[in-house]
């Protein structure tokens, strides 16, 4: 290079030096934002208590204004860790936080100054491995693992966050959890993405009284409910769970895959679930429900959309219940369950009918079931079709609460504004019960039903005290004994339009006391 004088050379040297200094300063800043737990004395042998060292790293990160606390590969034995605002925990691939088996290594239950009918698992958050309260802008990240280190239910929660904001939990694995794996109470603006939960002895993810929560791309295997939004009284006041989305998840359970409730003192509004797979754990009891929406403590459930769900070996694919247990209420008062759309559902191996059940004087309202394809195991006896079903108004809600049903496909009682469209039911073995039963239902639209014809079976559809019903575009399989039975003196205004009924030996039957004017057939 030709230089006219030494000044030009000096200028170039200064530019290069400045660039190096800037890069060095930037690198230094990055290092300052990332705190390594090993530098605070944490051991990775899995047998030396690392709690104090890791807590010191968290505290130092918080004191400097925030940043990342990193866990290099290794196993860190820990008791309770207190997460702080603006701190992210990063678990590297091969890093494991191992929960101590000594309960004295964990904080005790917090003291509450109000009564709460919820159980200890729902109520308390300090008896946990990683917990935070009234903090914000926090994260638990990385492809490392949190090991609950238990072989049965009963122990600290792996992650417990109470009244927090701006939370990210991403890509980690949680195994052997003896309590709710991810437990959130009054916590808002939450993103849970790519989390794997395996061998969980309790619930998987519980957003309780939470708002603006997004759960995506998670795989959960739980011996209790997989994802169960709640609205308990654990804050000391009623608070709704709102603006919740669940998408692209695989949920395996022995209880309910997705459930609203049963802690249902606050409301549930603006919730969607989409593109998920539900199935049973191997060598375990079948899940009681795939989709369970339950209000039994005064909750108002409103604005729920669930779509594109595939289920395998779930007892009842759909269970909607409005009851009146009245937990944490001076006087038990029913809430509401309305404006629910459940669509594009496919299920195999079901052993119990889908159910939509309110209580007398308090109907489930505005429910749409669309494009539901279910293969049931069948085997129901004809005499079950006449069984009287108890109301069970105050009973704990679950799909088996009514006992053997008079129907194998869809049971609806105490409902208004119900739309059931594009229903395709099939059977693995013969079932002599009804395919559908509607009792105390008003403003019913039933469109496009396909159900098998079974020799010796009772009516395909049984309407009991039904008013204002339109049944249309149904296709009756040849050999059908009886398509429709109507009973109840209050039944009125039932219309059959544009159905293909040539396969039915008898189109309808009226029970004694029902007027011929109740039904019109086109």
| Same domain for 380 and 273 | yes
In DSSP notation, 28-89 reads: HHHHHHEEEGGGGT---EEEEE-HHHHHHHHHHHHHTT-EEEEE-SEEEEES-EE--TTEEE
| Same domain for 458 and 352 | yes
| Same domain for 442 and 299 | yes
pLDDT means over runs of 10, the chain (522 residues): 48 45 40 88 98 98 98 98 98 98 97 95 98 98 98 98 98 98 98 98 98 98 97 97 98 97 94 98 90 98 98 98 96 98 98 98 98 98 96 97 98 98 97 98 98 94 98 94 96 97 95 94 90
pLDDT at 7: 47
Query: Is there a domain that residue 277 lies in?
Result: yes
pLDDT at 33: 82
| Same domain for 158 and 271 | no
Q: Could you tell me where the beta strands, DSSP code E, fall in 323-460?
A: 336-350, 354-357, 364-376, 407-427, 434-451
Number of domains observed in the structure of the chain: 2
Query: Is there a domain that residue 238 lies in?
Result: no
pLDDT at 5: 53
pLDDT at 493: 98
Query: Is there a domain that residue 98 lies in?
Result: yes
Query: Is there a domain that residue 235 lies in?
Result: no
Query: Is there a domain that residue 183 lies in?
Result: yes
Answer for the pair 332, 305: CB distance below 8 angstroms, yes or no.
Answer: no
Query: Is there a domain that residue 247 lies in?
Result: no
What's the CATH number where 130 sits?
2.160.20.10
Domain boundary among 155, 187, 219: 187
pLDDT at 97: 99
Domain boundary among 187, 208, 237: 187
| Same domain for 301 and 164 | no
| Same domain for 480 and 372 | yes
| Same domain for 347 and 458 | yes
Could you tell me the residue range of the domain that residue 86 belongs to? 33-187
Residue 16 half-sphere exposure toward CB, CA atoms < 13 A: 6
Tokens of 107: 């904080």
Specify the DSSP class assigned to residue 477: P
Nearest to 377 by CA among 430, 326, 322, 306: 430
| Same domain for 505 and 387 | yes
Backbone angles phi, psi at 303, to 5 degrees: 80, 55
Query: Is there a domain that residue 5 lies in?
Result: no
Answer for the pair 126, 111: CB distance below 8 angstroms, yes or no.
Answer: no
Q: Which residues of 232-256 are buried (b: 16+ CB within 10 A; e: fewer)?
A: bbbbeebbbbbbbebbebbbbbbbb
| Same domain for 271 and 173 | no
Domain boundary among 151, 169, 187: 187
Query: Is there a domain that residue 254 lies in?
Result: no
Nearest to 263 by CA among 224, 290, 285, 294: 294
| Same domain for 271 and 182 | no
| Same domain for 166 and 75 | yes
Query: Which three-class secondary structure string do you get for 102-123?
Result: CHHHCCCCCCCCCCCCCCHHHH
| Same domain for 288 and 176 | no
Answer for the pair 408, 431: CB distance below 8 angstroms, yes or no.
Answer: yes
pTM of the model: 0.93
Specify the DSSP class assigned to residue 227: B
User: What stretch of H or E contains 310?
Assistant: strand 300-312
Q: How far is CA 48 from its chain centroid?
A: 37
């Amino acid at each position: 290079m030709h230089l006219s004088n030494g000044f030009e050379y000096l200028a170039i040297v200064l530019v290069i030096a400045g660039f190096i200094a800037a890069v060095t300063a930037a690198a230094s800043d990055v290092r300052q934002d990332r705190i390594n737990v090993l530098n605070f004395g944490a051991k990775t042998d899995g047998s030396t208590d690392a709690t104090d060292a890791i807590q010191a790293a968290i505290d130092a990160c918080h004191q400097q204004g925030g940043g990342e606390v990193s866990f290099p590969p290794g196993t860190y034995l820990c008791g309770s860790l207190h997460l702080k605002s603006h701190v992210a925990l990063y678990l590297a691939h091969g890093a494991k936080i191992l929960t101590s088996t000594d309960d004295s290594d964990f904080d005790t239950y917090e003291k509450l100054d109000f009564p709460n009918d919820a159980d200890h698992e729902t109520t308390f958050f300090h008896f946990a491995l990683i917990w935070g309260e009234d903090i914000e802008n926090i994260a638990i990240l990385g492809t490392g693992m949190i090991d609950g280190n238990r072989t049965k239910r009963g122990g600290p929660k792996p992650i417990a966050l109470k009244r927090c904001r701006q939370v990210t939990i991403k890509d980690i694995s949680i195994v052997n959890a003896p309590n709710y794996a991810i437990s959130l109470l009054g916590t808002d603006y939450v993103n849970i993405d790519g989390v794997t939960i395996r061998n969980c002895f309790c619930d998987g993810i519980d957003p309780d009284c939470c708002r603006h929560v997004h759960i995506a791309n998670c795989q959960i295997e739980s011996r209790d409910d997989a994802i169960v939004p709640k609205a308990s009284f654990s804050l000391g006041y009623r608070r709704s769970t709102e603006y919740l989305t669940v998408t692209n998840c695989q949920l395996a359970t022995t209880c309910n895959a997705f459930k609203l409730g049963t802690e249902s003192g606050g409301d549930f509004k603006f919730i969607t679930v989409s593109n998920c797979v539900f199935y049973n754990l191997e060598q375990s009891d079948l899940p009681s429900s795939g989709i369970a929406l339950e209000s039994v403590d005064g909750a108002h459930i409103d604005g729920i959309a669930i779509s594109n769900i595939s289920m395998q070996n779930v007892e009842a694919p759909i269970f909607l219940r409005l009851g009146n247990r009245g937990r944490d209420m001076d006087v038990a008062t029913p809430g509401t369950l309305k404006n629910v759309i459940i669509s594009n559902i496919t299920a195999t191996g079901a052993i119990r009918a889908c159910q939509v059940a309110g209580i007398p004087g308090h109907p489930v309202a505005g429910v749409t079931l669309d494009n539901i394809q279910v293969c049931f195991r069948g085997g129901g006896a004809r005499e079950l079709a006449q069984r009287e079903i108890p109301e069970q108004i105050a009973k704990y809600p679950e799909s088996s609460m009514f006992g053997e049903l008079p129907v194998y496909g869809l049971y609806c009682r105490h409902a208004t504004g119900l739309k059931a469209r594009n229903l395709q039911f099939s059977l693995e073995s013969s079932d002599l019960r009804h395919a559908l039963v509607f009792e105390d239902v008003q403003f019913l639209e039933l469109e496009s039903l396909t159900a098998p014809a079974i020799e010796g079976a009772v009516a395909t559809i049984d309407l009991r005290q039904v008013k204002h019903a339109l049944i249309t575009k149904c296709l009756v399989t040849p050999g059908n004994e009886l398509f429709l039975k109507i009973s109840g003196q209050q039944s009125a205004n039932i219309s059959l339009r544009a159905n293909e009924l040539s396969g039915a030996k008898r189109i309808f039957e009226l029970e004694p006391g029902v007027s011929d004017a109740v039904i019109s057939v086109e």
